[in-house]
Amino acid sequence: MFDGFTLTRCEGDGAELRVRFGGRGPAVLLLHGHPRTHATWHRVAPLLVAAGHTVVCPDLRGYGQSAKPPTDPEHTPYSKRAMAADCLAVMRGLGHDRFAVVGHDRGAYVATRLALDHPEAVSAVSVLDAVPIGEALGRCDARFAASWWHWFFLGQTDKPAERIINADPDAWYRAGPERMGAQAYEDYRRAIHDPATVHAMCEDYRAGLGVDREHDEADRRAGRRIGCPLQVLWATQDDMVDLYGDVLDVWRDWAGGELVGGPVESGHHMAEEAPEELADALSGFWRRTAVRP
């Protein structure tokens, strides 16, 4: 995987992250979702390097082989604000003061928080298969609860999900190497068999139900928006349209500038299932913005 990339560890903002980077040109930061590691990008990252970009792929705080700080009663060490601060510190440490960011699934919330908290650093945002956490919870109905029940299961503290997941991680996550690729699968499998990683991933969801939602609602009250160009992509075989209808319309109140997007013919893990289409969509978006090789 990642031929020609460097694998290292970088200091975040209170957590050391495992990071892989390579290429030359304008920098782009790729943020994975749950329960993946940075290896989910192994088919997309080389295509973006070939298009003329420096590509940086970290394991988010708590995920993969990145650090897993102790939590607190409000789960703030696993807030998307904390994760975004890590990513900003990593990018600055690598010499990138301004960069584009792409986030999938939980990584999309980190990407959004980066753009809202640090607008001077983010030149463009691409969100894959997500709406803001505050929007998802604010619009929650029986259909959402039935489809996305894992949000509430993983977010429990009185009856922690960790005991169930750790009893048989392979049965719980039910992923295989066929679509992911053998090496990426082994990296992911190593992560889900680590009880500390499973706990940290649950903490991500606990933060999502509390402090992350509070941050989104505070931004809405203050009228804060994403000022840089915003791209929203969703998988045709996922449920974004079923849940929200016009996905772009959900994002309109959050976009202070250009808002574009559309579907990608894929299942949820589009970086693994449709890497060429995804890379083309990202590169085309960047060509129309300031992120040019």
Q: How far is CA 266 from the centre of its chain?
A: 17
Residues annotated as catalytic are: 105, 268
The answer to whether residues 277 and 262 touch, using CB atoms and an 8 Å cutoff, is no
> CB neighbours of 263 closer than 8 A, spacing ≥ 6?
233, 234, 235, 236, 241
- The pLDDT > 70 percentage for the chain reads 99
Give the integer Cα–Cα distance in Å for 123 and 159: 41
Whether the pLDDT of residue 265 is over 50: the answer is: yes
Whether the pLDDT of residue 52 is over 80: the answer is: yes
Whether the pLDDT of residue 180 is over 70: the answer is: yes
The answer to whether residues 111 and 126 touch, using CB atoms and an 8 Å cutoff, is yes
Whether the pLDDT of residue 160 is over 60: the answer is: yes
| Cis-peptide into 35, omega within 30 deg | yes
Pick the CATH number of 6-287 from 3.40.50.1820, 3.40.1190.20, 1.10.10.10, 3.40.50.300: 3.40.50.1820
- 157-163 long-range contacts (CB < 8 A, ≥24 apart) are 157/206, 160/202, 161/202, 162/195, 162/198, 162/199, 162/202
Whether the pLDDT of residue 288 is over 90: the answer is: no
Whether the pLDDT of residue 293 is over 50: the answer is: no
